[in-house]
Amino acid sequence: MNNPDPVIFGDNHLRIEDVLAVAEQRRPARLPGDPAFRTRIARGAEFLDTLLDREGVIYGVTTGYGDSCVVAVPLQQVEALPRHLYTFHGCGLGRLLEPEATRAVLAARLRSLTHGVSGVRFELVERLQQFLAHDLLPLIPEEGSVGASGDLTPLSYVAATLSGEREVLFRGERRSAAEVHRELGWEPLVLRPKEALALMNGTAVMTGLACLAYARADYLLQLATRISALNLVALEGNPEHFDERLFAAKPHPGQAQVAAWLRQDLAIDGPTPPLHRLQDRYSLRCAPHVLGVLADSLGLLRQFIETELNSANDNPIIDAENERVLHGGHFYGGHIAFAMDSLKNLVGNLADLLDRQLALLVDQRYNHGLPSNLSGAPAETAMINHGFKAVQIGASAWTAEALKNTLPASVFSRSTECHNQDKVSMGTIAARDALRSLELAEQVAAATLLAANQGVWLRQREAGARPLPEPLAAMRAQLAADFPPVVEDRALEGELRLCLARIRARAWRLYA
């Protein structure tokens, strides 16, 4: 796309899709150009300066942090305090966030600061936007946050790199932040009182990750519906299970939407073909009831995520207009924790549904005449070919891990930091868990999609096979180039990985 419309980070409400567009570099991030915006941002920092002149007591500015809030910091040490905050929090471990996730984190932090109640200079907000514009990405370890006081440790890497310290990813290379600042002709920021706290004491990591998780779950819902339709054809199931009148009797909107998608996919001219069973097994018959829970939950999850995204979620809040400093707990990530713990449960059930469908496909006792393990081998070599046997074992392993992962992180609050942070959200762990659950569920979806594709191909070879409805025929045509039928056994890892890449790129247009 040439010159895409920018995502404006100002007073406007950002949607999950806006963060996703910035994270995937489909749209640039911009600040409003009007002078009033710049003035509003600057007013908070100016108000803090007047308080310092009057020797006002402000948490994290003239006091220590956390439990050390009772420790007074003399004015001659106030300027040094921000660097100490991001320095002692430089203890993150685990894998580094992927570039897409890091951009989402930067976008979430930028939106919080643009409320103008964090007490930071306009220059800091502008530099954060320039990090996105130049794709200068702090290298952020993903582990070390308990989700209150916000994402302190991971966000310390944002504060440090804005100050020219630690390492960044720039133009595909891992480099020192100081070196990249020199290359761009920038002076590293010297963070002023409250600015390190404003960058770090918030929910940007969990919220950025939640935006990515939501988008992946939304697409996976539609893909799981399409896979279920393919499996209905492969297993010669009963399309009347999705009758519109049936779902009018139990009118959950998301459940009805999944049933409508299935009706659209399974549209067959003429009478329903002879049925093997009056009632299909639950993994087919109840697909709308399983997937519909996710469909019906997406609105609530969006509300939680977008409210957090569009909030000022640091502490204290600087109300320059009324000349007040409001000490509170907006760094607490409870809503994101609940949303992501819920998403783990929903995604685990989706994976389990697809795994059960795959188990039916490969088993001659239940697949209504398809070859064992969906092997396409001719009779003379059928006894040495095993088709999708190992793929089904793998899918079972991935499903089990996704189900194990449904244990909510938010119930594992730990008292930390000298019992100052004695009730914490674990929202960042929940968000990371949700992304892992999605990764596993996408692997199950890839396995089941390739098996469903094989099952439909086998069914279509049979004498008198009915033509596929147009949506499924179009899907099969898209799959054909990359995923040929399995006749003789072959290692399918490469094709599974390619299918995963297609899923994560949302390559297949599914439902309007």
Residues serving a catalytic function are: 59
What's the angle, vertex CA 308, arms to CA 305 and CA 312, rounded to 5? 160
- Residue 207's SS3 state is helix
Tokens of 25: 């570099």
- The three-state DSSP-derived secondary structure of 426-463 is CHHHHHHHHHHHHHHHHHHHHHHHHHHHHHHHHHHCCC
Tell me the C-alpha distance between 472 and 280, whole Å: 20
Which helix (DSSP H) or strand (DSSP E) does residue 96 occupy? strand 93-96
In DSSP terms, which residues pair with 72 in a beta bridge? 63
Contact 451, 357 (CB under 8 A): no
| Cβ-proximal residues to 263 (8 Å cutoff; 6+ apart), any chain | 239, 242, 243, 244
Cα end-to-end span (Å), the chain? 21
Exposure string over 406-440, b if 16+ CB within 10 A, otherwise e? bebbbeebeebeeeebeebbbbbbbbbbbbbbbbb
